[in-house]
Amino acid sequence: SRRRLVLGIETSCDDTGAAVVDEHGTIVGDALNSQTKTHIEFGGIIPPIARDLHQKHIESVVQLSLDRAGVTLQDLDAVAVTVKPGLALCLKVGLEHARMLVKKSRLPLIPIHHMEAHALTARMIERIDFPFLVLLASGGHCLLAVARNVSDFLLLGTSMDDSPGEAYDKTARQLKLKNLSACSGLSGGAAIELIAQSGNPKAFQFPQVMTQLPDCNFSFSGIKTAARKIIEMEEKRLNVPPSQVVPTAPDICASFQYAVLHHLARRLQRAFLFCELKGLLPKEKTLVVSGGVASNAYLRGGLQKVCEQNSCHLVCPPAQLCTDNGIMIAWNGMEKLLEGIGIAENPETVDLEAK
C-alpha cells in the first residue's frame, strides 16, 4: 500500500516547527525556527513577541518541511497541529495556518495535545507497547503519567508551581550565564548543565522538596528560591561586580542539578510504587523520559539508576526530539490517523484549549 504521510505543526511556545513523518516513524522532512535567542535577550518569553515571530516564520517553516520531504500538500494524508496546552496567542498562529492548509487541500485536520505528543515520540524510535510510564520535564510542564493508549493517559502527578525548565532558566539568568562565551546560544538549562560539569554537587545545601507528601506531584519554586538566595549570598561574599559571573557558579549549578535530580528521582520512585500497588504497568516496565529538561544527560543518568533499581527499561528520545518540534506533532497525528481516532469532524470549529 501507498506510504502515508502526515504534516505536523507546532507553535505552542517559542519554537515554530513543522515536519512530515511516515507511518514507520521516518522523518521525511523537518524544519524548525527557534526563538530562544530572542527570548534570552528579553529575559523570558513575552507572548506577543513570540506570536509575531511565529507569524513571521510559519509559512516558510511549513514550506521548508514539505520541500525537504520532497512532497506537496497533495501527497499528504493529514495535517496535525498542536491545539493545547500552551500560549493561546502562539497556538492560534499554528491552528490558523493548519486550517488554511486543510481548507485548500481538503485534508483531514488532527488536533494534538502537546504533552501527549512529547510522551509518544519515543514510539517513533523503538517499539514500546502500551501501557508505559512517562516523565515529562520541560519549560512548561512537569508530569508523570501512565500512557495507556494513543489517546488515554492517566495523570499521576504534575507540578504544583513552577516547571523545572523555569527553575533552570531563572537560575541561569540570575547567574548571568549568558555573559559566558561558552554559554552563548544555549538555553538556560543547557548552560547550567555545561557549567555544572566542573562543579561539586554537594557544595551547597538545597531544601528537600515535598518529602512529607506521599504523591507524585512536583514543586520547583523552593529549589528556584533557594538558588536565588545562594547566588545573592555568594555574590555578596565574593564581592562580584554586576554583570560578572560568580566564581562559584559551577558549584551552584552542580548543587542545583543535584537538588532537581533528587526531587525527580523521589517522585519517580513513588510512581513505581503506586503503579505496582495498582497493577498499572506490565512486568516488563518501560519509562519514557522526555521534554527539554530531560535532554539533560546528568538528569538522565540519575533517572537511569532509579530505573535499574525498579527493573524498568528507560527510553530517552534523542535531544532533538525531546525539545519542541514539529516531528512529535506529526507522529502523534500519524498514530491517531492509523487508529482512526481524533480526526476533527469540522476543521472550522476546532478550538484552542489554552491552559
Residues engaged in binding ligand KG4 (CB under 6 A): 13, 138-140, 165, 168-169, 187-190, 193, 291-293, 295-296, 323-324
Residue 213 CB, nearest approach to Zn ion (Å): 26
Report if residue 235 touches Zn ion, rule: CB under 5 A: no
Amino acid at 114: H
Separation between Cα atoms, residue 279 and residue 322, nearest integer Å: 28
Decide which of ligand KG4, Zn ion, none touches 121; Cβ closer than 5 to 8 Å per partner kind: none
Angstrom distances, CA of residue 292 to CA of 165, 191, 198, 260, 317: 8, 13, 22, 14, 11
Residue 60 CB, nearest approach to ligand KG4 (Å): 21
Per-residue cell: 252: 551552584
User: Which residue in the block uniquely carries the three cell numbers 554586576?
Assistant: 242
User: Which residue in the block uniquely carries the three cell numbers 506529526?
Assistant: 330
Which 24-63 residues touch Zn ion, going by CB under 5 A?
none
Residue 165 CB, nearest approach to ligand KG4 (Å): 3
Separation between Cα atoms, residue 291 and residue 289, nearest integer Å: 7
Residue 291 CB, nearest approach to Zn ion (Å): 6
Angstrom distances, CA of residue 14 to CA of 35, 91, 144, 234: 5, 10, 23, 32
Separation between Cα atoms, residue 225 and residue 123, nearest integer Å: 37
Per-residue cell: 152: 488515554
Report if residue 138 touches Zn ion, rule: CB under 5 A: yes
Residue 237 CB, nearest approach to ligand KG4 (Å): 27
Among the listed residues 75, 71, 100, 70, the one whose alpha carbon sits nearest the alpha carbon of residue 9: 100
Among the listed residues 305, 296, 317, the one whose alpha carbon sits nearest the alpha carbon of residue 193: 296
Answer yes or no: are the C-beta atoms of 336 and 124 closer than 8 Å: no
Q: Which stretch binds Zn ion (CB under 5 A): 17-25, 93-101, 234-242, 319-327?
A: 319-327
Residue 245 CB, nearest approach to Zn ion (Å): 28
Q: Which stretch binds Zn ion (CB under 5 A): 75-83, 192-200, 241-249, 317-325?
A: 317-325
- How many chain residues interact with Zn ion (CB under 5 A)? 2
| DSSP H or E run through 30 | strand 27-34
- Choose, by CB under 5 A, the member of 14, 162, 234, 324 that binds Zn ion: 324
Q: Which stretch binds Zn ion (CB under 5 A): 88-96, 104-112, 166-174, 320-328?
A: 320-328
Decide which of Zn ion, ligand KG4, none touches 82; Cβ closer than 5 to 8 Å per partner kind: none
Q: 111 or 139: whose CB is closer to ligand KG4?
A: 139
Any idea what the Cα angle at residue 86 is, between residues 81 and 92, rounded to 5°? 55
Residue 50 CB, nearest approach to ligand KG4 (Å): 12
Decide which of Zn ion, ligand KG4, none touches 188; Cβ closer than 5 to 8 Å per partner kind: ligand KG4
Q: Which stretch binds Zn ion (CB under 5 A): 72-80, 138-146, 150-158, 196-204?
A: 138-146
Query: Residue numbers of the site for Zn ion (CB under 5 A)?
Result: 138, 324
